[in-house]
Amino acid sequence: MRVLGINAIFHDPAAALVTDGAIVAAAEEERFTRRKHGKRPVPFSGWELPENAARWCLEETGLEPGDLDAVAYSYDPALVEPGLDGHDAHWERLRTLYALRAPNFLSTALPGLDPGIVRYVPHHVAHAASAALAAPGPGDGDVLVLDGRGESHSHLAGTYEGGDLTSLYAQRLPHSLGLMFEDLTEHLGFLRSSDEYKVMALASYGEPRFLHELREYVAATGDGGFRVAPIDWGSLVKARRPGGEWTRDHADVAASAQARLEEVLLDLASWLHGETGSRRLMLAGGVALNCVANSRLAEAGPYDDIWVQPAAGDAGTALGAALHVARDGGDPLTAMPGAGLGRRWDDHEIAGRLDTAKIPYERPDDLAAVVAGALARNEIVAWFQGPSEFGPRALGHRSLLAHPGYAGNIERLNDVKGREQFRPIAPMVALGHAPGIFEGPMPSPYMLFVHRVKPEWRARIPAVVHVDGTARIQTVDAGDEPLVARLLEEFRRRTGVPVLVNTSLNTAGRPMVDDPRDALECFGSAPVDLLAIGPYVVRREGVDAR
């Protein structure tokens, strides 16, 4: 079967293509439109489709819309119970109407598509499939989905056997751990459904002194579900003005919410494990992007093995919906080959973009050695290689790289990106060297867990050590990422350190760089010393000297 998956209804619109059970392409609409998260998560944006991402998926594989056997849409309007989450039922009906009209919208956006092949996949089933059906190795095991909301629920706990999902519990709205965290995100002056990771980062600067109060509002119910009572955040701490200074009170309430989230997740995982006895847990949904909570589950939870979908947010439901429909169609599925599922350019195409921009560039004999030398001199490098990543993490394809041995590089990179200074920057590390430097779940190829930095290494790599002594690492396997592995080895030869700073190649409020023009615009607007784009190198001094 040829199945196109579509996520559109809430936020992070995306498309993914599964052909004969293999994942062949996946991309988020934001990478094409350059609009962060694709759109805002409001009901009247529900009609907006990932048209560019969908067209690219088809073009990448030489398919026409009429060649598709099915389109899997990751939301089922038949399951909606208006007003459950406390929002105006009028807006909920509008969102549902848009979903019902999606087949016609899609056939307009993709001429030649038969609207009759569009299939609705429940939102949380799509999340679950994105984890279990894409996981490496046998897909059997438990699955836990937690996010803001789906049609009428905010959570699914189940188990997969032979590729089939058995749902054991689904938490009905308005109770939602994801919406609770979104409300706090907004109260702390950040953008809801976007900046929840900033609350996680801020939590490391505080103490959970409001934890007792939050335990009264948020609790597991012992039957697989949980309750979340309305929380008056203003009674705990004064709201922060967007862009304003944060205080210790703000950090403490963030730490309290983070701690309570972790406690409830452990309760939910323990209940699920008690029902099934499985040794493996697979996670998806926006809450699964909370790498601190994931690490707490790995360390204190009942499972031996935890796998997190790298595109765990709503974008990943495009992939999950396609896999679910392909599985129903009888196709044997293959595991996710990695996060590099997006657009790529060959050397000729990149050179053409550089020539058009009239930018001086060179093609070194050994790209990894040249870039490692620049990094060893404490230069900042924009790194644009191979296919773009699917999901929110830069994993060595669209990255800003720097030396981890200079503490000032935290402030330097946050200035380059226009970010808040309390936010950490992450390390990539050669897989073979990781256990000697970090403690935590390994391998960790997708930056979805935090690891303790061993004391003897903290002074050697201060730029990637967060205030709590942890780092959100990406382990690099030479078999999966040979060029990045070579770069790390060349850097180690020069410095004795097998670690590099790796943060996403973008500036604040902008999506990750996706195509060569994006890379050139970012390089031209930020104080980056060198751009390594495909086999070519663009140097700052060469551009400035034109």
Contact 513, 507 (CB under 8 A): no
CA distance 92 to 242: 28
Q: How many helices (H) and strands (E) does the chain have?
A: 18, 22
Active site residue 153: no
Amino acid at the residue 365: D
| 65 preceded by a cis bond (ω within 30 of 0) | no
DSSP state of 436: G
3-class DSSP state of 120: strand
Q: Alpha carbon 199 to chain centroid distance?
A: 16
> Phi and psi at residue 474, in whole multiples of 5°?
-120, 120
CB atoms inside a 10 Å sphere around CB 456: 9
- Residue 393 has a pLDDT of 95
- Residue 543 has a pLDDT of 59
SS3 track for 437-483:
CEECCCCCCCCCCCEEECHHHHCCCHHHCCCCCEECCEEECCCCCHH
Strands 280-284 and 141-146: parallel
CA distance 112 to 460: 58
Amino acid at the residue 429: V
Contact 316, 177 (CB under 8 A): no
Cα(first)–Cα(last) distance of the chain, in Å? 53
CA distance 177 to 219: 10
Q: How far is CA 249 from CA 186, 196, 228, 483, in A?
A: 15, 17, 22, 45
140-158 exposure pattern, b = at least 16 Cβ within 10 A, e = fewer: bbbbbbbbbbbbbbbbbbb
| 174 preceded by a cis bond (ω within 30 of 0) | yes
- Residue 42 has a pLDDT of 84
CA distance 504 to 392: 9
- Residue 91 has a pLDDT of 79
The crossing angle, in degrees rounded to 10, of helices 196-203 and 248-276 is: 100
CA angle 38, 421, 287 (to 5 degrees): 45
Whose CA is closest to 498, among 449, 455, 438, 446?
Answer: 438
Beta strands in 2-151 (DSSP E): 2-7, 14-19, 22-28, 70-73, 118-120, 141-146
CA distance 487 to 471: 20
**Low-confidence stretches of the chain (pLDDT beneath 70):** 83, 85-88, 542-546
Catalytic residue among 11, 175, 250, 324: 11
CA angle 194, 37, 87 (to 5 degrees): 60
3-class DSSP state of 72: strand
